[in-house]
Structure 1
């Protein structure tokens, strides 16, 4: 047991060092991308045995495929492969996720909040969706546990409550600049126009909340179903963080991407907020976070890094075999975008995380101008729908592990919702394509 604890603590320290090295790289003083990749991959290697079996198999397959394709590209097609840099794929995303995890050190989280008054019925379902959605834009998956654990105090979670938790979080992928989905998209297509994405994605997300409320009211008796009592005060921190990110993005550090700003800003705010209690208290909280929370991120870090290696291998092999000029579509327009959305969403139904479909697709497309923004919305909308319905998505695996619900059951209950959201997304894709010209 002591060996395992030591191993996990060492891995947590390596992840923290990777985050610090990434932040140092933002200054431009020294290139750190390769060092960051080695630190994170070393942490994954140490934590490999702790990763859930399904996720370990999936990540292992992605890693093997990526390496095999790089070997084939070099040996068969004589491609130039930069082996020392092969582990750098999606490092930006992984370190952003690590940075976001520090949000749990800001203020009082979870069970420290007062329980509030009881709300039930359709109003309670809507409040649960709203609470998870807007808090989740910043706090990500931790919001589901924060809200879900509070609801579970009175009784085991019911299907309507679980569906509200699922859909409230997954729909935030449509527009939140703090989500892993947005980080992946910006890393793949850096010229994306976020404002255009938000203008289209936010209304679709709000329709998700309305659809969830109406559908669950029709399917279930919600009379005694408890909802999450969300106070305006609860939104102050997420709104404040979003405002800070925009301040840095447009005025203080305009040369940095939103992903980069989030990576250093959230840990910085967490550090400052704890320093009010003294340096000893701050160091104790950071140490606890490093040795407990960071090793617990092994599943998501390994998946994103493995998908990055797969993307590099596939893009290298395709370029070597077909030439740099080959792309899946000569033009990425309305129909191509719709087909891409369908492919990524359907792959989620069979257990593939949307990041895999998004990364693979980006590696075989040559996108320019408005095509990057259109692709970004395709990726985000497919991510939102795919993670809600996919039995092996992070949100459904988390609900299964925490509250004992079957991933297959969640998929079955979400199929009608996913079908309607897909139609709305396809309509939005057509509208955005026409707007972008």
Structure 2
């Protein structure tokens, strides 16, 4: 395989440097935060010409607004922000994303032989949704391609199959600790109680799966549509990884957040799994990951970093203009939480990534511990529904690029799904708000 351009290799090395520095910071006190953020920003700048134009516009607008807010805060309100932390927003979320990417080196889940009799009908549709949900909870977007490519061997993917892939992955954002959504939520609400969010998000996700199976089987003739057959062996690796993360979180390193544990554990597991193949094979796979996979993450890395800059700039401006005495909602209860959720999903339908709405909302709130859990759930739920229906979300753009379906076509198919899921989410918000206020 030919080497990529030097610029790509340098960007991959800088991205890896950001990850390694973040991991080192978990063990060593005193490492400056810019030692993580600067390499990541440098990698994004190097890869900027290769980012799709649509993503450039989104990320560029976020960065320009963030800088404009900072300038206005300094010039108009005499703010004195700490320059060394201005680029830190979402840096450790990006480090987690980079760490999770190494899970692809462990191996791919498999199902039965490609020539075996396919599972069709509602059972096949349920298998597709469940396969992407469970595998994607660990492997993220790569699980969609694993399942989608497997289905494509039997012919061009149909809308109903693509909707199963879309909804299976996006709804996992409501509960999976391995998703960027959880990383963003934890970074903006550090006191978030994960078990509380899990208790609300997991049933919601599976309710979305049940609804999808029955709704899609009524709208489409699925009697001959192949689905994904999930085997117990396929779940062994994801289940083992999830269990190991929980052991670290509750037993070995209870002082670390789940995001921090994932950041160092995923590369460690990947390295250990590959060493069994020998040093030469391990080096070859790691180098390939460094040269191709890490630079290939340029779009999502840049978006998250620029969204973090927007959050930082707007937070500084709001604090400087109001002397820290103003928040969007005096009490983040049922009404504000519901309104926030609806606004973020609406902005996703309009074409904005949910992280933008979540970041703007967080910059205008001052939350105590219990309300941070409610805010975290709002962020995860709006991400889970917003990315399913948003025409320019990462999952829909990926499906468009890989399988040729328009993001706006996916949006139209998912509008009713978004309405039903939003009704369930609003009920969950009401219940959760009552629980955290008790």
The normalised TM-score by structure 2 is 0.97
Alignment of 1:20-59 (within 5 A): 20-59=20-59
Between the aligned partners of 1:269 and 1:30, the Cα distance in structure 2 is 27
Q: Distance in 1 between matches of 2:213 and 2:182?
A: 26
Please state whether the residue corresponding to 1:270 is helix, strand or coil.
helix
SS of residue matched to 2:297: helix
Q: Do the aligned residues in 2 keep the contact of 1:21 with 1:32 (CA within 8 Å)?
A: no
Does structure 1 conserve the Cα–Cα contact (< 8 Å) formed by 2:4 and 2:291? no
> CA offset at residue 84 of structure 1?
3.0
Specify the SS of the correspondent of 1:315.
helix
**Aligned position for 2:228:** 228
Structure 1 segments unaligned to the other structure (5+ residues):
none
SS in 2 for 1:226: coil
Q: How does 1:21-420 map to 2 (within 5 A)?
A: 21-108=21-108, 114-115=113-114, 117-420=117-420
Q: Distance in 2 between matches of 1:36 and 1:152?
A: 40
Instruction: Confirm or deny: 8 A CA contact 1:314 1:360 kept in the other structure.
Output: yes
> How far apart, in 1, do the equivalents of 2:195 and 2:265 lie?
21
Deviations 1:85-131 (A, max 9, x none): 21111001000000000000003457x97435410111100100000
Contact 1:105 1:270 in 2 (8 A): yes
CA contact (8 A) 1:391 1:407 kept: yes
Is the CA contact (8 Å cut-off) linking 2:389 and 2:418 kept in structure 1?
yes
Structure 2 unaligned residues grouped into runs of 5+:
none
Counterpart in the other structure of 2:10: 10
User: CA separation in 2, counterparts of 1:114 and 1:139?
Assistant: 22
- The corresponding residue for 1:427 is 427
Is the Cα contact below 8 Å between 1:15 and 1:39 reproduced in 2?
yes
**CA RMSD, 1 decimal:** 1.4
Name whichever of 21-30 and 417-426 sits farther off.
21-30
Task: Summarize deviations over 1:360-419 as a string: whole Å, max 9, x none.
Answer: 111110111211111111111111110000000000000000001001100000000000
The alpha carbon displacement at 1:233 in A equals: 1.2
Partners of 2:401 and 2:108 lie apart in 1 by 24
**CA distance in 2 between partners of 1:148 and 1:264 (Å):** 29
SS at match of 1:76: helix
Contact 1:22 1:32 in 2 (8 A): no
Q: Distance in 2 between matches of 1:108 and 1:347?
A: 35
CA contact (8 A) 1:117 1:229 kept: no
Measured after TM superposition, the shift of residue 340 of structure 1 is: 0.5
Give distance in 2, aligned partners of 1:10 and 1:308. 23
Q: How many pairs align?
A: 435
Tell me the TM-score normalized by structure 1. Answer: 0.97
Q: Distance in 2 between matches of 1:10 and 1:224?
A: 48
Could you report, residue by residue, the CA deviation over 1:61-86 in whole angstroms, capped at 9, with x for unpaired residues? 11111111101100110001222321
Report if the CA contact (8 A) 1:120-1:224 is conserved: yes
Distance 2:109 2:19 in 1: 23
CA-CA distance at 1:4 after TM superposition? 6.8
| Structure 1 Cα separation of the partners of residues 318 and 117 of structure 2 | 58
Distance in 2 (CA, whole Å) between partners of 1:290 and 1:3 is 11
Q: Deviations over 1:155-184 (max 9, x none)?
A: 010000000000000000111111110110
